[in-house]
Structure formats: structure tokens, C-alpha cells
Structure 1
Amino acid sequence: MTDFTTFLPGFAAAYAILLVAASSPGPAVAMLLGIGLGQGRGPALTASAGIATGSVVLNLGTIFGIGLLLSQAAWAMQAVRAIGAAYLLWLAWGAFRRAAAKAPPPRAASVAPAPAWRHFAAGFALQVTNPKAIVFWLAINAVGATQGGGAAVIAAFAFGAWIVSFLCHGAWALLLSSAPVRAAYARARRGIEGTLGAFFALFALRLALDR
């Protein structure tokens, strides 16, 4: 029987780092802003679940050495950077296109909701194509939270990491899809979408050029 109490200090240290990182504004929060304002609370929370799942995939990948392999293979990391930058540029194009639209978007109640899997996949894709997230998980795993533990310890740590990530991004989703924020969006839709597009384009540029 595994004694999980011996791993709790390492879990707490790793989760503290994850809490700060997941709460900080970045590409994921920018995505949740766009989804929350345009689609509402449910889709934003679904995207948050996708982000959290992508984070756990990277977590497990670094534990089992995939992240370390990517960080050491320059061509592989460059490929991930290119994919991530292209995806962010695609998000920027969508935001700029909405900003350029003259007519205001239809009310959320009259819009046919997109399938939940699309929002989940958008969050997941954003997370797993972010090389900085790979490096981040390598740093977290250097804490050694699961060192010496078996599959049960790794599974417990991954589940806890999913919860922390989802709660942090879910809090952003709830805030950014709230009625006051959406009302402000209705008044300043084009400026907000244009700013979102600029942020996504900037993130893409930094991702492509950062070494």
C-alpha cells in the first residue's frame, strides 16, 4: 500500500507553482476571454477543461521523458514552436475578422451553439502546442513530487494537477463570461476583438522568435 502522506510536501510545492502559472494572464486567458464573451459560460468552462487536460498530457509526457526529449531535440522543439505559432495566428485572424465585421453579432440565445468538443479541442490544442508549457512542466517535475512513487502516485498527482489547472482557468472563464463583462463587450466589441487579435499575433511572434 502506497503511503501518499510522504509525497504531500512535494505535491504542495508543485501545485503552488502550477497555481501561480495557471492564474497568470497569457494565451489561454486570451482564448477564454474570446470564448466567454462570444459564446458564454458553458463553452468557456469546456475550453478550460481542454486546457487542463492538455496540461496533464504535458505533465505525464515530461514525467515519462517525452518533454525532455523535445527540449533536447532542436528540430522537434522548432516543429512544436511552428505549430503553436500557426495556431495562435489562426486565432488572431479569427479575432481580427470579428473586429472587422460591421454588424454586431447576434444575441447568444439566437446562435446555434458549437459542439462542446470544439471548445474542448481548442483549449487542448492551445496548451499542447505551447513549448513554454513543456519547459514549465519540466521545471515542475524537477521538484520531484512523484519521485520514488509508482503509477498510483503519478495518477494522483496528475489528477490534482488537472483540478488546479481547471479551477484557475475556470475562474477566468466565469469572470470573463459574466453579465457585466459581456455587456461591456457588446458596447466595445470591435475594439476588444481587435485587441485580442493583437495579443494572439504578439504571442505568435514571441513564440516563433523566442529561443
Structure 2
Amino acid sequence: MAALLPILSIAGAVMIGAISPGPSFVLVVRTSVALSRRAGLATALGMGIGGMSFAALALLGLQVVIAQVGWLYLGLKVAGGAYLVYLAFRIWRGAKQPLSLEMPTIAASIGFRRSFLIGLATQLSNPKTAIAYGSIFAALLPANMPGWTFAVLLPLIFAIETGWYTIVAVLFSSAPPRAAYLRSKVWIDRIASGIIGALGIKLISDAIRSR
């Protein structure tokens, strides 16, 4: 029972981080509304696996490694920022392109795989996620935890990340939000592109300033 409180505290901290607006939320919303619920769920799955991967690395001491090796942290920031800028460019460029909501079976299959990979890459490209997990574990995980708690934490984090983005995907893939998006696709896409691009540029500029 003594291990239950730290586990619940970590779960609460991860949930707060997941529901905070950011590039992951924007991407899942846009994918669910613009493409399909299936694509949105694939993106949500990618987010969950990406979050669980960072949690596993944090448990293995990623925070200590990054603190010791400054260039690694700067490299992660630059790489993550560059990916977000690239993603923003792709969204902006396609803002005026009409969407076909009827996809053949093969295209839908490719869309699922690509949506999953984009979700995974978006989550993994954000070094702040790694730092957040490392900080959460460092602050809330006691030094002497039973071994079974580590087997519980990773599936729990996967469930929180995937569960939240699944809710987002299901909500925004319903008919009313989809119709509203199609009516305002250009501006919604450009706003989403601006948010993601600004976050990417901020990551790169932070890395440059901290050299």
C-alpha cells in the first residue's frame, strides 16, 4: 500500500501533462477531423507508445544522462524543433487542398500506418516530454520502490497517454466538428501550422541561446 500513493501521484502528474495543449493535442485533433476517426486513433496509439518510451528511458536514468551530456540535450532540442517546423510546413502547404473523405481500403491502410508513425515521431521529437518524465519520476518516485511498481508504471502511462488522445480522436471525428472543420479548413490548418511551427522554432532558439 505504501507504493500506491507514489504511483497515483505519478499518474496524476502524467495526466495533467497529457491534457495540456501542445503539438500532440493539435495533431490528434487535426488528424481526427481532417482524415478519419481511424487515423486519429492511430495517431493516439503513436502518442501512447511514444510517451511510454520516454517513461521507460526516464526510469533508466535519461534525465541523469541529459544533465551530464549537455550537447545531447541541445541536439534533442534542435532535432525536435526541426521536425515540428517541417510538420508545420506540410500542414500549411496542404491547407488549401480539398479533402476527400472517401478513402479506398488500401489508402485507408496506408493512412493508419502513416498516422501512427507521425504520432509516434511527434511525441518522440519533443525533448520536453523526456525532461518532464524524468522530472516527475525524480520528484515522485521513492528510492526504495518494490520491483513490481516498475511493471505497473509503464502500462499505466501508456493507458493514460493513449486513453486521453483516444477521447480527443473520438470527440473530434464526429460529424459536427468534421463539418465545421471542412467549412474553415484553410484557417484551422494554418492556425494549427502556426502553433506547431512556433513551438518548433522556440525549441531551436532555446537550444541556440543555451549553447
CA–CA separation in structure 1 for the residues paired with 2:120 and 2:146: 26
Report what 2:74 is aligned to: 78
1:9 aligned to 2:2? no
Contact persistence 2:18–2:161 (CA under 8 A): yes
- CA gap of 1:107–1:119, structure 2 versus 1, over 3 A, is closer
User: Secondary structure of the equivalent of 1:99?
Assistant: coil
TM-score in terms of structure 2 length: 0.89
Percent of aligned pairs sharing the same letter: 23
Query: 1:94 is matched by which residue type in structure 2?
Result: R
Contact persistence 1:10–1:143 (CA under 8 A): no
Cα shift readout 1:151-180 (whole Å, capped 9, x = no counterpart):
532121111111111111111111222211
- CA gap of 1:115–1:151, structure 2 versus 1, over 3 A, is farther
Residues 10-29 of structure 1 aligned to structure 2 (within 5 Å): 10-29=6-25
1:105 aligned to 2:131? no
Residues 1-150 of structure 1 aligned to structure 2 (within 5 Å): 5-101=1-97, 104-109=98-103, 112-113=107-108, 114-145=110-141, 147-149=143-145
Cα shift readout 1:70-95 (whole Å, capped 9, x = no counterpart):
23312111111111111111211111
Question: Which 4+ runs in 1 deviate beyond 4 A?
Answer: none
Contact persistence 2:42–2:112 (CA under 8 A): yes
> CA offset at residue 19 of structure 1?
1.0
User: Secondary structure of the equivalent of 2:187?
Assistant: helix
Report what 1:205 is aligned to: 201
Q: Is 117-126 or 183-192 further displaced after alignment?
A: 117-126
- CA gap of 1:92–1:14, structure 2 versus 1, over 3 A, is same
CA–CA separation in structure 2 for the residues paired with 1:47 and 1:173: 9
> CA offset at residue 116 of structure 1?
2.5
Say which of 151, 158, 163 aligns to 2:159. Answer: 163
- CA-atom RMSD, angstroms? 1.8
Q: For this pair of structures, how many residues does the alignment match?
A: 205
Contact persistence 1:35–1:43 (CA under 8 A): yes
Query: 1:35 is matched by which residue type in structure 2?
Result: T
> CA offset at residue 146 of structure 1?
6.3
TM-score in terms of structure 1 length: 0.89
User: Secondary structure of the equivalent of 1:6?
Assistant: coil
- CA gap of 1:169–1:72, structure 2 versus 1, over 3 A, is farther
Cα shift readout 1:45-97 (whole Å, capped 9, x = no counterpart):
11111111111111111111123212331211111111111111121111111
Which runs of no fewer than 5 residues in structure 2 stay unpaired?
none
- CA gap of 1:108–1:199, structure 2 versus 1, over 3 A, is farther
CA–CA separation in structure 2 for the residues paired with 1:129 and 1:72: 20
